[in-house]
Amino acid sequence: MAITLPDLPYARDALAPHISAETLDFHHGKHHRTYVDKANELVKGTPLDSEALETIIRAAWTDKNAALFNNAAQIWNHSFYWRSMKPGGGGRPTGKLAEAIGRDFGSFEKFADAFKAAGAGQFGSGWAWLVVKNGKLDVRKTGNAETPLTEDGVTPLLTMDVWEHAYYLDFQNRRPDYITAFLEHLVNWDFAADNFAKA
């Protein structure tokens, strides 16, 4: 069962002007595709070549197979990232997720500050995450390809890519501006709420 590159859940120009079609051409069309191609090469002919992507990621993490983990986890992280955004997104969540954010962070503003700090404070490449563990929300940051999937009992709700290839064509070295645009104009709270409901 070959790993496939998922289609974007929107047109390539749908996130403009915050994320351009050119960025998505490179980010999805080249970076994400390369991770898919490389992971398929690495699992071909092994017992993992018929396994689900999440199983491959956890096996590679356990076995300390860095090449396979990095490519497989980046496939999953990116697929999750595309769904963490939507055209006309941003703003604030509603319903039970909003209540949980208020309960666990004190306010939406405090959550936003923590999420921005995670993204801006990730040295080099990585990810900022909103996750839930044991019913409590938390903000995490992970380096390179690392993902909350490797931690038992943690469910990712949304993620923001802070690798330079996610924003450099549109924001150059202004990562904080990209993070602000993500929260104010791009984040898909419906996706996060659905994940929260299933957690």
Distance (Å, rounded) from C-alpha 26 to C-alpha 32?
9
Number of other CB atoms surrounding residue 160 within 10 Å = 26
Q: Where do the DSSP E strands lie in 56-175?
A: 126-133, 136-143, 154-161
* Amino acid at the residue 89: G
Distance (Å, rounded) from C-alpha 193 to C-alpha 98?
9
Strand order in the sheet with 154-161: 136-143, 126-133, 154-161
Tell me the CA distances in angstroms from 53 to 42, 104, 130, one per residue in order: 13, 31, 21
- The annotation status of 165 as a binding-site residue, yes or no, is yes
- The annotation status of 31 as a binding-site residue, yes or no, is no
- The annotation status of 78 as a binding-site residue, yes or no, is yes
- The annotation status of 152 as a binding-site residue, yes or no, is no
Binding site as annotated, residues for Mn(2+): 27, 78, 161, 165
| Binding region | 27, 78, 161, 165
